[in-house]
Each structure stands twice: as structure tokens, then as C-alpha cells.
Structure 1
């Protein structure tokens, strides 16, 4: 299975999904998908995928947790252009920027 480039709801180029893993554009493995939801290595809810290529965070789900995981080793960085942002849904906020997930 290949990878799919992803953007935040606001239009920031985030990185890509490969299988159930979320990678930043600078090559860090920062999340794992459980269905459409994304969880950090420590098991904390980060957000979810809406449509085929947009990440957003539902404020009501911020307390959710899953089993954690050990991130894979970093990969080579790659970039994609930004995209137009969308109007924010009520009760949601933009997905964390790649730089904030360390």
C-alpha cells in the first residue's frame, strides 16, 4: 500500500499516511490511525481524518486514549505544497502542526 499526503483542516501540509501510520513531512512517525482517529505514541488522541486528506481535532474527544506504540525510526523529509483551508466546524480545532508533535 502506498502513502497518501495529508493536510490540516486549515491547509497546512502535515505529512502522509502509510497504512495505519501518520508521518510528518520532516520524516517523524507521530501517530497511528484507529479507524479515522489518530493517536500519538503515548496513546493520546490527536484528531481524525475527514474525507481523504484532511486532519482535524474534535474537542470533545480530547480525553480519549488508546494503547501507546513505539515510533519507527525517522525517514527522509519530503514536502508538499499547502492547500486552501476550510471553515472550522463548531466544536473542532485545527489538527496540531507537525512542529508541535515532538
Structure 2
């Protein structure tokens, strides 16, 4: 699977996917993909992919969980430019910024 880059719903560059893992642009392993949903190191739901390359969090899924995992170091990437954000859907909030991990 080729590396895929992601931005938050509001348009901030986040990082990339490698296999089933989500990394910040600094190479910090912060999530695992289960289909389009992403779960954090502690197993808690972080968000999901929408519109192919945007990350967003569904508020009603915040209590969902999967097994916790040990993070592995990823590669550093040059931080890509930010994009214009999208209007927020009801029941959703923006995915956490890479700098919050």
C-alpha cells in the first residue's frame, strides 16, 4: 500500500498512513486503522477518514475502543501545506491536531 497523506477536517496537515498505521508528520505513531476508523495507542476511538484524505471525529463514537497497541517509530515527513477547511457536519468535530499527540 502506498503512503497516503491526511489533513484534518479544518484543513491542517496531519501526517500519513503506512499500512494500517497513522503517523504524524513527525513520525509519531498515533493510531491504527480499522476500516475507515482510527483508534489511538490506548485503544480509544480518535476519528475516521472522510472525503479520501480528511480526518474527522464523530462525537457519538468517542466511547468506542479497540485493543491498545505499542507505538512504533515512523518516518519524518516534510510538513505539507494546509488546505481550506470544510464546513463541520452536525455531530462531528475536527480531528485532533498532530501537535496534540
Residue 45 of structure 1 corresponds to 45
- The answer for unaligned runs of 5 or more in structure 1 is none
| Root-mean-square deviation over aligned CA pairs | 1.0
> 1:13-64 deviations in whole A, cap 9, x for unaligned?
0001111110101110100000110000110100000121000000000000
Q: Aligned partners of 2:78, 2:44: CA distance in 1, in Å? A: 26
Name the SS for the 2:56 alignment partner.
strand
- The answer for unaligned runs of 5 or more in structure 2 is none
How big is the shift at 1:2?
1.6
Q: Aligned partners of 1:79, 1:27: CA distance in 2, in Å? A: 11
| Length, aligned pairs only | 101
How big is the shift at 1:75?
2.8
How big is the shift at 1:99?
1.0
Map 1:8-19 to 2 at 5 A.
8-19=8-19
Q: Aligned partners of 1:19, 1:85: CA distance in 2, in Å? A: 26
